[in-house]
Chain A
Amino acid sequence: MKDSLKNVKYIEKDKILDFIKVLQKDYTVIAPKKVKDFVLFGELKDNEEPYLDFLNSRQSPKEFYFPQTETIVEYEGIIDKRVPKFSENDMKKRIIFGIRPCDVKSTLILDKLFVNEDYIDDYYKRLRDNTLIFSFGCNNPKTTCFCASFECGPFSEEGSDAFITDIGDKFIIEGITEQGNKIIDKLPDGDGGMLKKKKEIKKNSDNVVSCIENIQKIPEKLRGMFENPVWEEISERCLGCGVCTYLCPTCHCFDIQDEMIGEDGRRVKNWDSCMFPIFTLHGSGHQPREFRFQRMRQRIMHKFNYYEENFNIIACSGCGRCVTECPVNIDVREILEKIKKL
Chain B
Amino acid sequence: MIKNSYIPIPVKVDKIRFETEDKLIKTFDLVFMDKEEEKAFRYYPGQFAELSILGKGESPIGIASSPTESGFLRFTVMKVGVVTTALHNFDEGAIMGVRGPLGNWYPIEEMKGKNVVIVGGGFAFTTLRSLLIYMLDKKNRKNYGEITCIYGARTPGLLCYRDELKEWEKRKDMSLYQCIDWKFGAEGPIEEAAVEGWEPINLKEPSKTKIKKDIKKFTAFVPQLVSAVKPGAKDSYAIVCGPPIMIKFTIPVLTELGFPPERIINSLENRMKCGIGKCGRCNIGPKYVCKDGPVFSLKELEKLPKEY
Binding site for B on A (CB under 8 A): 72-73, 75, 79-84, 86-88, 113-114, 118-123, 226-227, 252-258, 260, 265, 267, 269, 272, 274, 279-284, 286, 288-289, 294, 298, 301-302, 305-307, 309-310
- What sequence of 0s and 1s flags, for each residue 69-103 of chain B, a beta carbon within 8 Å of any chain A beta carbon? 00000000000110010100011011111000000
Q: Say whether, besides A80-B96, A302-B283, A306-B283, A118 and B269 are in contact (CB < 8 Å).
A: no
Q: In the complex, what residues of B have CB within 8 A of residue A294's CB?
A: 307
A16 to B8, CA, bound (A): 46
Task: Decide: B94 and A255 in contact? CB cutoff 8 A.
Answer: no
Q: Which of B54, B57, B270 contacts A280 (CB 8 A)?
A: B270
Most buried by A among B53, B59, B271, B281: B281
Task: Decide: A86 and B1 in contact? CB cutoff 8 A.
Answer: yes
Q: Say whether, besides A73-B7, A226-B305, A274-B280, A279 and B271 are in contact (CB < 8 Å).
A: yes
Q: Does B157 contact A (CB under 8 A)?
A: no
Q: Does B10 contact A (CB under 8 A)?
A: yes
* Contact residues of B between 1 and 34, Cβ < 8 Å to A: 1-2, 4-8, 10, 13
Q: For the complex formed, measure the closest distance between the CB of A106 and the CB atoms of chain B, giving whole angstroms.
A: 15
Q: For the complex formed, measure the closest distance between the CB of B266 and the CB atoms of chain A, giving whole angstroms.
A: 15
Given A73-B7, A226-B285, 11 more A-B residue pairs with CB atoms under 8 Å apart are: A75-B55, A84-B10, A118-B291, A121-B278, A122-B6, A253-B279, A260-B55, A280-B282, A288-B308, A294-B307, A310-B286
Q: In the complex, what residues of A have CB within 8 A of residue B8's CB?
A: 73, 84
Task: Decide: B305 and A122 in contact? CB cutoff 8 A.
Answer: no
Task: Decide: A121 and B5 in contact? CB cutoff 8 A.
Answer: yes
Q: Does B230 contact A (CB under 8 A)?
A: no
Task: Decide: B276 and A253 in contact? CB cutoff 8 A.
Answer: no
Task: Decide: A79 and B53 in contact? CB cutoff 8 A.
Answer: yes
B interface size (C-beta, 8 A):
48
Q: For the complex formed, measure the closest distance between the CB of B248 and the CB atoms of chain A, giving whole angstroms.
A: 13
Task: Decide: A82 and B57 in contact? CB cutoff 8 A.
Answer: no
Q: In the complex, what residues of B have CB within 8 A of residue A88's CB?
A: 1
Q: Which of A227, A252, A265, A305 contacts B55 (CB 8 A)?
A: A265
Task: Decide: B280 and A253 in contact? CB cutoff 8 A.
Answer: yes
Task: Decide: A282 and B271 in contact? CB cutoff 8 A.
Answer: yes
Chain A at the B interface: mostly helix, strand, loop or mixed? mixed
Q: In the complex, what residues of B have CB within 8 A of residue A75's CB?
A: 54-55
- What sequence of 0s and 1s flags, for each residue 282-302 of chain B, a beta carbon within 8 Å of any chain A beta carbon? 111110000100000000000
Q: List 22 A-B contacts (CB under 8 A).
A: A72-B6, A75-B54, A80-B13, A80-B91, A81-B94, A82-B95, A83-B95, A84-B10, A121-B5, A122-B1, A122-B2, A226-B305, A254-B273, A254-B280, A255-B273, A256-B57, A265-B55, A272-B280, A279-B281, A280-B270, A298-B283, A305-B286
Task: Decide: A272 and B1 in contact? CB cutoff 8 A.
Answer: no
Q: Does B252 contact A (CB under 8 A)?
A: no
Q: Which of A252, A256, A283, A298 contacts B80 (CB 8 A)?
A: A283
Task: Decide: A122 and B4 in contact? CB cutoff 8 A.
Answer: yes
* Contact residues of B between 257 and 282, Cβ < 8 Å to A: 269-271, 273-274, 276-282
Task: Decide: A258 and B96 in contact? CB cutoff 8 A.
Answer: no
Q: Say whether, besides A82-B95, A119-B291, A256-B273, A302 and B281 are in contact (CB < 8 Å).
A: no
A87 to B282, CA, bound (A): 31
Q: For the complex formed, measure the closest distance between the CB of A68 and the CB atoms of chain B, giving whole angstroms.
A: 14
Q: In the complex, what residues of B have CB within 8 A of residue A265's CB?
A: 54-55
Q: In the complex, what residues of B have CB within 8 A of residue A122's CB?
A: 1-2, 4-6
Q: Say whether, besides A84-B54, A122-B5, A256-B57, A288 and B270 are in contact (CB < 8 Å).
A: yes
Task: Decide: A288 and B307 in contact? CB cutoff 8 A.
Answer: yes
A108 to B185, CA, bound (A): 60
Q: Which of A79, A113, A289 contacts B56 (CB 8 A)?
A: A79
A284 to B243, CA, bound (A): 10
Per CB-CB distance, the 4 closest pairs between chain A and chain B, nearest first, are A80-B94, A253-B280, A122-B4, A306-B286
Q: For the complex formed, measure the closest distance between the CB of A253 and the CB atoms of chain B, giving whole angstroms.
A: 4
Q: In the complex, what residues of B have CB within 8 A of residue A257's CB?
A: 57
Cβ-closest chain A residue relative to B274 = A256
Most buried by A among B1, B90, B276, B284: B1
Cβ-closest chain B residue relative to A257 = B57
A252 to B283, CA, bound (A): 14
Task: Decide: A80 and B280 in contact? CB cutoff 8 A.
Answer: no
Q: Say whether, besides A256-B273, A306-B285, A272 and B279 are in contact (CB < 8 Å).
A: yes
A269 to B275, CA, bound (A): 13
